[in-house]
Every structure is written in structure tokens, then in C-alpha cells.
Structure 1
Amino acid sequence: MARRFRGSEEVKVDAKGRVSIPAKFRRVFESCDPDWSTGKRPQMVIVFGTRDWKHLQLFTIEAMNEIDDSIAAMPRGSAERNLLENIYHGHAEETEIDGDGRLVLPQKLREKIGLADGAFFISAGDSLKVWTPESYAEEEQRLESLVPDFEPGADPLSLLGSASKTEG
């Protein structure tokens, strides 16, 4: 993938379910859409996941193509493939960013995560997660509870060393 998402932003949601996609995020959707060119609308895939998801996940076309290829390589009929097809194909919507840099979130997706006046975007590498600001605050607390206690001044990148040891 050419680019990755970085950062977070809180944005307003209007009565029609439109949210402005910050320019730094739009550039990633544009660069990761093989069919995009100036004047065209960048495409994306919104994954709304299973009933326990409290967020939406916005994938670039390139990222979704990678996921699709990985799923297609799995044994047909396996429980794992069926689960991933259900989430990333069945619980997903293809959409685009409009000419004003906005994304229209369908009502059923807004209702699923309780989105009303504001949305919180947080980068997840090849995707963006969309939360209500309140739900994200709860998620951040949950994530922090999973992190081991560090000595003051410790480098959080030290966690990468433990991940590579368990993989290899």
C-alpha cells in the first residue's frame, strides 16, 4: 500500500448523516484507489461488522483488495473463511467520498453505532475506524487496560520486540 492513515479527528455529523472526511484522510483514500484520478470520487468500503462492533471501519480499495485476496486463498467452506466473508463481504457497503469531501453514512449504520451529532475518526494503518466520541473514550480505556505497566519513560515500541519473538 502506498500510504497509511495517521492521526485522529473529531467531526460533526449533519442531519442527513454526512461527515466531512479530513483532507489528510481523503488523500489516502485517493492514493489507494487504483481507479481514482483528479475530478473523480475516491471509493472506499465501510465494514460495519458483527453485532458487537461499536464502530465502523473504512477501508481503502487497495486494503480491501488485499483482504479479499487473503480470504479467497483460504479453504472454501472453512469456518474461518465463512466468518471473514460474513464480516468483510456481507457486513460491508461500497461507497464514495462526494465532491465536497463528505461521506454519507446510511441511517442503519449510524443507528448501529449510535452516531448522532459527532464522529471520531482514528487511524488503524490501512483503515479508519469511526466511533461516537463517547464510545471511543470507553474503547481507549479498555485498550489502555490491556497494555502492560511501563516504567516511567519506557519506549512503547519495545512491545514490537515481544511480538516478533512470539511469531518466529
Structure 2
Amino acid sequence: MFIGEYTFKVDAKGRMSIPALFRRELEEGDPSAQATGRPKMVIVYGHEKQKNLQVYTYEAFQALTRDVLKMKRGTDARRKLERWVLGKAHPTEVDPDGRLVLPQKLRAKIGLEKEAYFIGAGETFEIWKPETFEADNAALEESLDDLPDDFDTLSLLDTGE
């Protein structure tokens, strides 16, 4: 599971460290990683309004692909997922130094320059331009203004029971 938050420098070639805990998860999510030492992952850059990059383990992305392909053909939802998730995805792998190399196209998509902000999201992790994340998070935090002072975040869990 991807949890926690980290900030790393991005060099001119788009290279950045991957948090060590995230690398371990990527290794577990790629059966060939033990032999190669370079776990594969898939980065989804999505539709034009998506402000971050979503990173999946190799196995998690394969499972997601299977879920999309189970959907009824020709539906609007399947077409969007095919285009914005499957089509707007970039397979890559950890380099020999434990880094991620992001192509210029993906860096430009989210305005990434000198630093990258990583945040765990359970099955995936996200990569943000730090300032964009701060603004997005501030908007989310504003929604707390309408909640009681003793609000329990875990009350948001809907287990269907």
C-alpha cells in the first residue's frame, strides 16, 4: 500500500528519486522485478483537467485494464476510461539508481519543474507540482469549515453496513 508524503528534487532530465517505501511496493507489484531489479510501473496522465500523475504498480494497472475491458462496449463510461486511463498511460520502470525518469511531456502536463510532491493513495501514488497540490489541498481543507470542531475524518468511511 502506498502511504505517506514526500518531496524530491527533479533534475533537468526529469530524473527524481522515488520514495524507498514506494519502491518496495512497486517491486511487490511486478513479478519480474526480483530478476531485473527494475520494477515496472504505469503512469496515468489522463484527461486535460487532471492535475497530477497517478502511478500504478504493473499488476494493479493490469487489473484495472481487465476491469475496463469487462465493461459493456460502446458505452460512454468505457470510452472515457479507454481514452483517459488506458490511452493516456505511460509504462516505465525504475532506473538502476532507484529513480523515476519522467518524459518532458508528462512534466509539462502538470507543470513539474524543480520539485515533485509524492503522496500515497493506497493502491496508487500521485505525483504533483508542489504548488498545485497545496492549492488543491487548501480547497479540500475549506470543506472542513462547515463541519463541527470534533469532526472525525474516519466518519467519511462508508462500508455499506
TM over 0.5: yes
1:164 and 2:154 correspond: no
1:138 and 2:135 correspond: yes
Give 5+ residue unaligned stretches, structure 2.
none
Question: Counterparts in 2 of 1:43-58, with a 5 A limit?
Answer: 43-58=40-55
Q: Percent identity?
A: 46
Structure 2 residue aligned with 1:76? 73
Give 5+ residue unaligned stretches, structure 1.
none
User: How far apart in 2 are the matches of 1:77 and 1:51?
Assistant: 22
Q: Deviations over 1:140-159 (max 9, x none)?
A: 01222344744334321111
| Secondary structure in 2 matching 1:37 | helix
TM-score normalised by L of structure 2: 0.93
User: How far apart in 2 are the matches of 1:55 and 1:159?
Assistant: 23
Paired residues in the alignment total 161
User: How far apart in 2 are the matches of 1:38 and 1:118?
Assistant: 31
The partner residue of 2:9 within 12, 15, 18 is 12
User: How far apart in 2 are the matches of 1:27 and 1:156?
Assistant: 28
Structure 1 residue aligned with 2:87? 90
User: How far apart in 1 are the matches of 2:97 and 2:135?
Assistant: 31
TM-score normalised by L of structure 1: 0.90
